[in-house]
């Protein structure tokens, strides 16, 4: 079978591809485990060389997700699964409404229509977000049945994507499921346009001996999930039987809540255990980022995800140590 990952050159997309390469099989439209013989990573920009951890089954293609013909060219087999991760993220969506609508809504519909056009019942896994929640009526703890009241353009487009996944699945066009992601950390590399980027930066930059400029105060709370369990969550939700998910295909992933101050203390503990000299941190509030983050849920519950076998992190320190082991050069 073939696997298409849109947004495949991003952090989660690449690590998802590595995990699928390692597994070798996924449940196909037949409902049985099928050998994965082709993985296509599609993104706006792709690297010149195949990243580490991938093999000859993997190809990369650059293009525009909002171009219908391009997307239909990606989903070109009946024995296929699609992980749709491509998106304009929160901060970027607030700066450019039209771009978010074109990429997130038009692009998403092209992906769904391309899957619908295939014979059989391909599985489509959509990367959503807890940004579908928000507003003054949002409870302190959100979950699978919390009313969707997004307060960002990004969250609005994710809400619409979830509703399309539900309806396309109800109609029997494909077998869809939506992964409601909390903030995923710790992402290597440079900060991106996501308003939540500081949740990785507060750990990543100091570990690299660099200064971290924090756009929020230390008492800000974040619901977080480590990247290892996020990738595993995509795969486990793909593998779950559709009937076990039910009519509402949107599943909140597990998370743990930390303040920025707790994250700072965590990186200090783990750095000391690894003999790493940390770079400094400076609080420089950004009113735009603060306003976006203030509208997010700080706590979540995920009973459906847990019933489906999706894992939460062991601890903050464990995620930081995983990042050191996976992405930092040997000391």
pLDDT tens profile 238-250:
999 999 999 999 9
The two three-digit tokens of residue 277, written as one number:
């000299």
What is the rounded CA–CA span in Å between residue 318 and residue 241? 30
Q: Are residues 28 and 107 both part of a single domain? A: yes
Res. 232: pLDDT tops 90 = yes
- In this prediction, residue 196 has a pLDDT band, given cuts at 50, 70 and 90, of confident
Q: Strand pairing of 38-43 and 2-6?
A: parallel
Question: Do 159 and 213 reside in the same domain of the chain?
Answer: no
Of 208, 221, 155, 175, the closest CA to residue 324 belongs to 208
pLDDT digits (tens, 9 = 90+) for 102-128: 999 999 999 999 999 999 899 999 999
d(CA 250, CA 305): 10
Is 80 exceeded by the pLDDT of residue 331? Answer: no
Q: Which stretch of 207-211, 293-297, 317-321 has the lowest confidence by average pLDDT?
A: 293-297
125 with 8, same domain? yes
Q: Given CA atoms 4, 312, 149, 222 in this order, what sign does their dihedral have?
A: negative
pLDDT at 16: 98
Instruction: Give the separation between CA 290 and CA 217, rounded to whole angstroms.
Output: 9
pTM of the model as a whole: 0.94
- pLDDT cut 90: percent of the chain above it: 89
pLDDT of residue 15: 97
CB 84 within 8 A of CB 77: no
Q: Which two tokens stand for residue 4?
A: 């298409």
What HEC string does the chain produce? CEEEEECCCCHHHHHHHHHHHHHCEEECCCCCEEECCEEEEEECCCCCCCCCCCCCCEEEEECCCCCHHHHHHHCCCCCEEEEECCCCCHHHHHHCHHHHHHHHHHHHHHHHHHHHCCCCCCEEEEEEEHHHCCCCCCCCEECCCCCCCCCCHHHHHHHHHHHHHHHHHHCCCCEEEEEEECEEECCCCCCCCCHHHHHHHHHHHHHCCCCEEECCCCCCEEEEEEHHHHHHHHHHHHHCCHHHHCCCCEEECCCEEEEHHHHHHHHHHHHHHCCCCCCCEEECCCHHHHHHHHCCCCEECCHHHHHCCCCCCCCHHHHHHHHHHHHCCCC
pLDDT per position as a tens digit, 6-16: 999 999 999 99
* In-domain check, residue 37: yes
Contact 227, 183 (CB under 8 A): no
304 lies in some domain: no
Is there a contact between 256 and 224 (Cβ–Cβ < 8 Å)? Answer: yes
Residues 155 and 207 in one domain: no
Range of the domain at 156: 2-185+225-254
Q: Is residue 306 part of a domain?
A: no
Res. 193: pLDDT tops 80: no
Q: Are residues 35 and 146 in the same domain?
A: yes
Which residue among 154, 168, 258, 323 is the active-site one? 154
Q: Are residues 202 and 57 in the same domain?
A: no
What is the reported pLDDT for 90?
81
- Does a structural domain hold residue 202? yes
Task: Tell me whether residue 309 is in a domain.
Answer: no
Look up the CATH number of the domain holding residue 164: 3.40.50.720
Do residues 189 and 11 touch, judged by C-beta distance below 8 A?
Answer: yes
Q: Does the annotation mark 154 as catalytic?
A: yes
State the sign of the Cα–Cα–Cα–Cα dihedral 213, 151, 294, 9.
negative
Q: What is the mean pLDDT of residues 23-49?
A: 96
Total number of domains in the chain: 2
Based on the fold, state whether residues 16 and 162 are members of the same structural domain.
yes
Condensed to tens digits (0 to 9), the pLDDT of residues 59-112 reads: 999 999 999 999 999 999 999 999 999 999 888 888 999 999 999 999 999 999
Residue 317 has pLDDT above 90, yes or no: yes
Q: What is the pLDDT at residue 194? A: 78
Query: With 0-12 CB in 10 A as exposed, 13-18 as middle and 19+ as buried, what is 12?
Result: buried
Residue 190 maps to a domain? no
Confidence at residue 55, expressed as pLDDT on a 0 to 100 scale: 96
Helices 316-327 and 198-207, axial angle in degrees (round to 10): 60
Residue 160 shares a structural domain with residue 203: no
150 and 263 both lie in a single domain? no
Structural domain includes residue 303: no
| Judgement on whether residues 130 and 273 belong to the same structural domain of the protein | no
Distances (CA, A) of 308 to 100, 121, 176, 246, 286: 32, 21, 15, 12, 39
Q: Is residue 320 in a domain?
A: yes
Residues 19 and 165 in one domain: yes
Q: Let me know whether 37 and 149 are in one domain.
A: yes
| The pLDDT of residue 92 | 86
């Amino acid at each position: 079978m073939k696997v298409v990952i849109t947004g495949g050159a991003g952090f989660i997309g690449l690590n998802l591809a590595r995990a699928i390469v390692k597994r070798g099989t996924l449940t196909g439209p037949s409902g049985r485990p099928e050998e994965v013989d082709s993985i296509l990573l599609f993104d706006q920009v792709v690297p010149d060389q195949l990243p580490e951890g991938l093999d000859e089954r993997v190809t990369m293609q650059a293009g525009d997700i909002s171009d219908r013909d391009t997307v239909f060219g990606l989903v070109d087999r009946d024995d296929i699964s699609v992980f749709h991760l491509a998106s304009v993220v929160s901060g970027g969506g607030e700066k450019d409404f039209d771009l978010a609508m074109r990429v997130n809504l038009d692009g998403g519909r092209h992906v769904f229509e391309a899957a619908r056009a295939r014979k059989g019942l391909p599985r489509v896994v959509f990367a959503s977000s807890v940004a579908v929640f928000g507003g003054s009526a949002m409870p302190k703890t959100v979950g699978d049945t919390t009313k969707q009241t997004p307060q960002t353009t990004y969250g609005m487009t994710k809400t619409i994507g979830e509703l399309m996944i539900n309806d396309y699945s109800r109609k029997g066009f494909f077998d869809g499921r939506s992964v409601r992601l909390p903030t995923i950390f710790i992402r290597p590399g440079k900060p991106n346009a996501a308003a939540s980027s500081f949740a990785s930066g507060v750990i990543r930059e100091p570990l690299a001996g660099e200064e971290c400029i924090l756009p929020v105060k230390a008492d800000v709370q974040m619901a977080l999930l480590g990247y290892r369990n996020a990738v595993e969550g995509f795969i486990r939700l793909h593998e779950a039987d559709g009937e076990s998910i039910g009519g509402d295909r949107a599943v909140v992933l597990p998370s743990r809540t930390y303040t920025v101050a707790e994250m700072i203390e965590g990186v200090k503990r783990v750095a000391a255990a690894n003999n790493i000299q940390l770079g400094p941190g400076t609080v420089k509030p950004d009113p735009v980022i603060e306003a976006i983050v203030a509208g997010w849920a700080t706590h979540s519950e995920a009973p459906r995800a847990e019933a489906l076998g999706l894992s939460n992190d062991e601890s903050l320190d464990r995620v930081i140590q995983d990042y050191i082991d996976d992405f930092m050069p040997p000391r």
